[in-house]
Amino acid sequence: MINTKITSIALISLGLLYSSCTRNALCVKGKGDRITEIRTTDTFSEITLEGSADILLIQDPDINEAQIEIKGQENIIEELRTDVQGDELIIDFKHCVNYQRALDITIRTNDLNRIDIKGSGDIRTLGEFQGTNLSANIDGSGDMDMQIKYQNIEVGIDGSGDIDLDGSSDRLEAHIKGSGDLKA
């Protein structure tokens, strides 16, 4: 009876170990030198980042289309999707990726009302973003560091992510579940 339990536990453990190794083996591994790719899209006012990347946001009220500059290994950039659906830019990967070198994305847009990080990505601003309403949410361990001037700001953290807001607002509403921190 005890030998049967030990054998069962050992087989389950080996199965879990094998499946995790197989999953990583199927991931696209970053290779080669870093390159830069420029993408243009329709304008948007919402950004959702699913995965891990370092994003720098620049507000430019005079542009008619958004510009996305991506720096990383070529085969990883090929896996990166930057799709605009309605008013939302969705940044994610086509397949599982595994890379050692940073993936840096600079986004130049004219308006921003919502930012969501789902994963471990980091978002920061270069200069101050201005607007009426901003919703900033982290579901995971990502971080946001933003200079802002909005009338109304709503912040949500579910996980260990941190949000650092520097600037001004007439109203700030925050919801934190987990070990994340808000500095405003």
Q: What is the pLDDT of residue 102?
A: 87
Q: What is the pLDDT of residue 124?
A: 98
Q: What is the pLDDT of residue 20?
A: 45
Structural domains of the chain ordered from first start = 28-183 (2.160.20.120)
Q: What is the pLDDT of residue 41?
A: 96
The enclosing H or E element of 62 equals: none
Q: What is the mean pLDDT of each run of 10 residues along the chain (184 residues)?
A: 61 53 74 95 96 96 95 96 97 92 94 96 97 98 97 98 97 96 95
Any idea of the CA torsion for 7, 13, 15, 20, to the nearest 10 degrees? -170
Give the Cα separation of 68 and 105 in Å (integer). Answer: 7
How many C-beta atoms lie closer than 10 Å to residue 90's C-beta? 16
- Give strand ranges (E) for the chain: 28-29, 34-41, 46-51, 54-59, 66-73, 80-85, 88-93, 97-98, 104-109, 114-119, 122-140, 143-159, 162-177, 181-183
Supply the pTM of this predicted model: 0.84
